[in-house]
Amino acid sequence: MSQKAGWTYRRKEATFNPLNYLLRTLFVFVFVFLLIAVPIFAAESTGVGAGMVKQTSVRTWGGSSWGDASAANDVEGAILSTVLKAKPDGSGEKILATLDREGILKIQVWNGSAWSAITQLTAQIGTINCQFQPFDIAYETTSGNAIVVYSDNSTIPKYRVFSGGSWGGELSTTITVTTAQVPMFINLVRKPGSNEIMCLVADNTTNPELWAAVWNGDTDTWNAASNPTTGAASLEPVTTYRKGTFDFAYESTSGDGLLVFGDGNDSADPMCKYWTYIGGTWTAVGDVPNIGSTVPYFIRLEADPASDRIAFAVLDSGYDLNCNVWTGAAWGTNVEVTAAAETYYMKCFDLVWESSGNRCIVVWGPSNLDTPYGRVWTTGSNWATTANFAAGPTDAQFIQLHRNTTPLIRAVII
């Protein structure tokens, strides 16, 4: 772990299967050990596995240091992706979902001291669609119940509710998402101060569609789904390496929502569109300030916990990283913080607000350099302040930031 100017970051650590160690030569063991990365036990995270590990290794942050590595339950399949979400009441409860290379989705719950037995949600995602992330988890803010939404290789997503320490049965009949093809990416976002959860579902047809449906945890019902990718706008394709072509965030004080997605009409500028969700109603689709003529690959939105501001960052196919801030009513001025990111095939950047609000940091991996770069947004500075980091052992190709309740921000850098 390294620290610089109040910021903390840590790289994921490698692990190996002891049984494989007994069966393989020393050379193969060393090769696997150096290549396999496992996710850190953070409050909320999404990761991509190496496709060989069958257990998720975890470390817990104790406030000043990381604990020893331990392992979640063996899922018996080679893990391709993981999602970890934390209960918002501070109890320490977390839900971990893992998708293996055979398309089997399993879930387990951490109660603060031990993992529950594994629950298999579906074995129907398939060996092709498992390359994407057709599942997600979210906790309701006030009730503490959780919902998992996932694909079973049909056009209608399924879902299950976690309440009172147990999972309910599989449901689907009330989700009105009607994608033309099988969902390839699902994203859930909980609304602060309520039991509402936004569900975004994208498919991967010739003309990809993006659907939004709202879960009401008070009544356990879904509203009618809406599709912004009609008419002149269409979603940028959701490929195995381009998973982040859209994102959503709720404003922290008003509770209104903001959706940004990459426009699939590559010949038109601007390349990103936005949609606001105000008082339970979607407004007309608008244009995000121009980011140039290159294709958006990864989009991130992050809400300021102390205001209605939402920070926006987009990494495009020209290795450019552009940032902006939505005020709650309008966009600011785009700032290109770099024209030379390390890669656009992986999410080599992230952004997060400090817990007190009013300051947001964006961090990215620069091309062929070991030291991550950062910029800080404050009122009037517009990403002008530089944030310094200690050098890492290699170029950063994946970055994930997490806000703590203190000014400390944790970073995972691979």
Instruction: For residues 30-58, give the mean pLDDT.
Output: 48
Reported as type and span, the H/E element at residue 202 is strand 196-202
pTM: 0.84
Residue ranges covered by each domain of the chain: 38-227
Is the pLDDT reported for residue 16 higher than 60? no
- Please give the Cα distance from 316 to 376 (Å, whole number): 20
Q: Tens digits of per-residue pLDDT, 72-125?
A: 999 988 998 899 999 999 898 999 999 999 999 999 999 988 999 999 998 888
- pLDDT at residue 269 above 90? no
Q: Mean per-residue pLDDT for 274-301?
A: 90
pLDDT of residue 406: 64
What is the residue type of 132?
Answer: F
How confident is residue 254, by pLDDT bands cut at 50, 70 and 90?
A: very high
Which of 112-116, 184-188, 240-244 has the least mean pLDDT? 240-244
- pLDDT given for residue 230 in this prediction: 64
Q: What is the pLDDT of residue 60?
A: 79
Q: Which backbone phi and psi does 200 adopt, to 5 degrees?
A: -115, 135
DSSP string, 86-155: E-TTSS--EEEEEEETTS-EEEEEE-SS-BPPPEEEES-S-TTGGGSB-EEEEE-TTT--EEEEE--SSS
* Amino acid letter, 277: Y
CA-to-CA distance for 157 and 362, rounded, in angstroms? 33
Residue 410 — very low, low, confident or very high, per pLDDT cuts 50/70/90?
low
- Mean pLDDT over the full length of the chain: 81
Query: What CATH number should be reported for the domain whose range is 38-227?
Result: 2.120.10.70
pLDDT at 6 over 50: no
The pLDDT of residue 42? 45
Q: Is the pLDDT assigned to residue 65 strictly greater than 60?
A: yes
Question: Which pLDDT score is estimated for 2?
Answer: 38
More confident residue, 411 or 46: 411
pLDDT tens digits, residue range 334-364?
999 999 999 998 899 999 999 888 899 999 9
Span 135-160, mean pLDDT?
93
Per-residue confidence band for 237, with pLDDT thresholds at 50, 70 and 90 = low
CA-based Rg of the chain, rounded to a whole angstrom?
20
- Mean pLDDT is lowest, of 78-87, 205-214, 319-328, for 205-214
Q: Is the pLDDT of residue 22 over 90?
A: no
In the chain, the percentage of residues whose pLDDT exceeds 70 is 77
